Structure 1
Amino acid sequence: MEKFFQLRERGTTVKTEVVAGITTFLTMVYIIIVNPAILSSAGVPFEQVFMATIISAVIGSLYMGLFAKYPIAIAPGMGMNAYFASVVATQGVSYQVVFGTVFLAGVIFIILTFTKLRETLIGAIPPSLKYGITSGIGLFIAFIGLKMAGIVVPSPNTMVTFGDLHQPVTLLSLFGLFLTLILIARKINSALFIGMLVTAIIGIFAGLLKFNGVASVPPVPVFLDMDIAGVFSNGLYTVVFAFLLVTIFDTTGTMIGVADQAGLTKDGKFPRAKSALMADALATTVGSTFGTSPSSAYIESSSGVAAGGRTGLTSVVVAILFILSIFFSPAISAISSLPAITAPVLIIVGCFMMEGLSRINWKTFDEAFPAFAIILTMPLTSSIATGIAIGIITYPLMKVVSGKWKDVHPILYVFGIIFLIQMIFFPAH
């Protein structure tokens, strides 16, 4: 195992990788409850989505761990599930037809992964945009953590404002945050995991974490509940394109961000990119055949990296825990329903991911502004893909007006135009 995953070369151990896998799993396990809740609003049976979510997470994370050997977990992506539900509601088609669009997007995704397009795209993204993507994701997940904890809340006057410290969940979140900060400052190993564990125990004693059972018999998976012909008869080509485009850039940006955070990129390059990119393409395609929206690399993987994860063993541990979760849905439902357990981790990991800001050349405006645009728009639009799109539109534009158009890879001009057209005419909400 040590040799296969190159643990020694990457300066890690089996114990560290297991703790990292548990940490990543606990910060992303909410998806097996949230994803079925969102897709069931579109008419898909809850139990069907529950099993499909786990199956796609296991396939994607296992492939990532065993073949790409990165500590990046895969599961159905947030945002795409909401878009799935909105297509069912606005287009007047059945959810089976929309699963057909996801399947077709997944197949195209796999074909593109066999080509050099996605690898070329990763190589074409300049360092300032890569650091902007990593930092933007960091700010975004920290903002998610603050909202989950109730530390910031919606406000009609200022969009968001400071939350109510009298709320028990907010108080417990702040306790978990400061406890974890102290553990990190004292250089305690597994600080993030210990912080979550102590917070969960206090949550039980405070009556905030209640278990209505621990284990249950898993539902039977449903296979091929889709209508591919309906995609063509209803002309849902733009939906296929939206799923494809958003998933490609969402997951590519996340992979770049997490790999860079783990120090696994070399000279701006992403080793074993094809295998890494195949993981989410495969998970999306297989997931659609069982009944879930497109899969993506998870930004919560950065919590496992922060806990020391550096190899694919972290992702394999995540996959194993997802398999076990099939039998423990009541307990997992209870844990994922208490934001105070995972919110502090997201806030702290957000800080870790801001490190790349120091490597952006802020004195060169045509490098600085596109990175700034990414960092600004990701949390404000709640979309990694939108932030990346803004960066890829503004970077070539700034270089052209600065007389440095030759410094831009041709593929960025192509995608800049595609994104501009997509954002104007086919926005994915």
Structure 2
Amino acid sequence: MDQWFRLKERGTSLPTEVLAGVTTFLTMVYIVIVNPGILSSAGMDFHGVFVATVLASIAGTLIMGLAANYPIVVAPGMGLNAYFAFSVVGGSGISWQTALGAVFVAGILFVALSLTSFRYMLLDAIPASLKHAITAGIGLFITFIGLQNAKIVVDSPSTLLTLGSLTEPMTLLTIIGLVVTLILMSYRVKGYLFLGMLVTAVLAWFMGLLVLPEQVVALPTGLAATAFQMDLTGVFANGLYAVIFTFLLITLFDTTGTMLGVAEQAGLLKDGKFPRSRGALMADAIGTTTGALLGTSPTSAYIESSAGVAVGGRTGLTAVTVSLLLGLTLFFSPVIAVLASIPAITAPSLIIVGFLMISVVQKMEWTDFEVAIPAFLIIVLMPLTYSISTGIGVGFIAYPVLKAVRGKWRDVHPIFYLFAVLFFIQLAFFSH
């Protein structure tokens, strides 16, 4: 085992790696509850998405651990699942089968990019502030969804949106659950999102809002309802090129940024470079492709991996431990289904993850007019148009236009002009 994972070389041990795996698992296991809950709102079978979520996470994480030897977890990304359910399926009227087809195409492109150096050119073409704006915009978007699910924010005929009734039992429970989770977060309790869900579930039971399942353990079922159901023909018939690009772009730079951050925290960078980056990116690419085949939204490297690194995780054995623990969750689908069915249990996680994502605005260059305005448009238009790709598209069109009118067109990477043209065609002539 030491020869495979190089435990001694990285200054770690088997008990430390297992502890790191357990810690990371507790911080990210909320996704097996939240992801099926979000995607089932798009008409997908809850149990099928649950099994697909776990299996796609295991596939990507095992490759990350065994092939790349990094303590990084891969699972369906927050934000992309909301984009899949509420923008692509709900907003555009596309079937979830067609949306899965778009995820699969993006996954195949990601595999191809992982094998070439073109991925670096793609990442370098996008200014850092625009990357941060995309992350922040997605954060606002999923926070908005969390507030809507909990009915803290509701529709209004006069103002479009307004504050809901805070005395409604489910809304009140959401607020209590949010406060509890924030308290756990403020004290830096490991797994605060998951623990917050459990505390809220207990309160929901006392309030009569939660009915305990008849059984706690059961064999995993439902995968047949989502596996191999993707519609590739519909992807091209509906011109979902911007959707594919959005899935690919966000997954690529989100994964790259997360992996670099976790690797730096673990002291695994060499001369500022990321060794075995091809294998690490391939893990996420295969996770995304596998997820599309089985029935879930794109995967991404999880920043929650840093929790395991903080307690000493330094090798892929941490990731392997997480994979084994994820496998055990497959047999608790009755409990997972009950937890996901209560908006008050899942909404606080959406709100808090949104907060964590929007915090990157402090890294943006707000004094650079040509970048700040497109970044601003990306951030505000994602939640206001209920579409991640629309926000990205408008920002990516505005950036080269502003640079050009200011006489700085040479400062824009040539490939960015291609991005702008493709997004303009998508927004002007195709459904979005």
User: TM-score when scaled to structure 1?
Assistant: 0.77
Instruction: Name which of 401, 412, 415 aligns with 2:419.
Output: 415
Q: Residue in 1 aligned with 2:84?
A: 80
Matches within 5 A, 1:48-67: 51-64=51-64, 66=66, 67=68
Shift of 1:154: 2.2
Shift of 1:261: 7.7
Shift of 1:334: 0.5
Matches within 5 A, 1:7-406: 15=19, 18-35=22-39, 38-40=42-44, 51-64=51-64, 66=66, 67=68, 69-74=71-76, 77-80=81-84, 103=104, 106-186=107-187, 188=189, 190-212=191-213, 213-219=215-221, 222=224, 225=228, 231=233, 236=236, 239=239, 241-242=241-242, 244-252=244-252, 254-255=254-255, 258=258, 274-290=278-294, 292=295, 294-297=297-300, 301=302, 304=304, 319-406=323-410
Give the 3-state SS of the residue equivalent to 1:327 in structure 2: helix
Residue by residue over 1:135-178, the C-alpha shift from the partner in whole angstroms, topping out at 9 and shown as x without a partner, is 22332232232223322122232222112111112112211222
- CA RMSD, 1 decimal: 4.2
Alpha-carbon separation, structure 2, partners of 1:326 and 1:156: 43
Shift of 1:211: 2.1
Inter-CA distance 376–282: structure 2 relative to 1 (3 Å threshold): same
Matching residue's letter, 1:381:
T
Shift of 1:407: 2.1
Matching residue's letter, 2:112:
I
Shift of 1:36: 5.1
Shift of 1:73: 2.2
Inter-CA distance 324–14: structure 2 relative to 1 (3 Å threshold): closer
Inter-CA distance 35–253: structure 2 relative to 1 (3 Å threshold): same
Shift of 1:124: 2.2
Alpha-carbon separation, structure 2, partners of 1:54 and 1:373: 35
Inter-CA distance 210–54: structure 2 relative to 1 (3 Å threshold): same
User: TM-score when scaled to structure 2?
Assistant: 0.77
Inter-CA distance 306–330: structure 2 relative to 1 (3 Å threshold): same
Matching residue's letter, 2:220:
P
Inter-CA distance 387–24: structure 2 relative to 1 (3 Å threshold): farther
Matching residue's letter, 2:60:
G
Residue by residue over 1:7-43, the C-alpha shift from the partner in whole angstroms, topping out at 9 and shown as x without a partner, is 97xxx98646533432322145232355356354xxx
8 Å CA contact retained: 1:216, 1:330: yes
Identity among equivalent positions (%) equals 39
Task: Choose 404-413 or 261-270, whichever is displaced more.
Answer: 261-270
Inter-CA distance 258–214: structure 2 relative to 1 (3 Å threshold): same
Q: Which structure 2 segments of 5+ residues have no match?
A: none
Alpha-carbon separation, structure 2, partners of 1:355 and 1:296: 22
Residue by residue over 1:43-78, the C-alpha shift from the partner in whole angstroms, topping out at 9 and shown as x without a partner, is xx7765554444333323433455365345236834
Shift of 1:209: 2.5
Matching residue's letter, 2:247:
T
8 Å CA contact retained: 2:39, 2:84: no
Inter-CA distance 307–374: structure 2 relative to 1 (3 Å threshold): farther
Shift of 1:107: 3.2
Task: Choose 14-23 or 246-255, whichever is displaced more.
Answer: 14-23
Alpha-carbon separation, structure 2, partners of 1:141 and 1:313: 32
Inter-CA distance 362–13: structure 2 relative to 1 (3 Å threshold): farther
Matching residue's letter, 2:217:
A
Alpha-carbon separation, structure 2, partners of 1:320 and 1:327: 12
8 Å CA contact retained: 1:131, 1:357: yes
Give the 3-state SS of the residue equivalent to 1:363 in structure 2: coil
Matching residue's letter, 1:250:
I
Shift of 1:236: 3.4
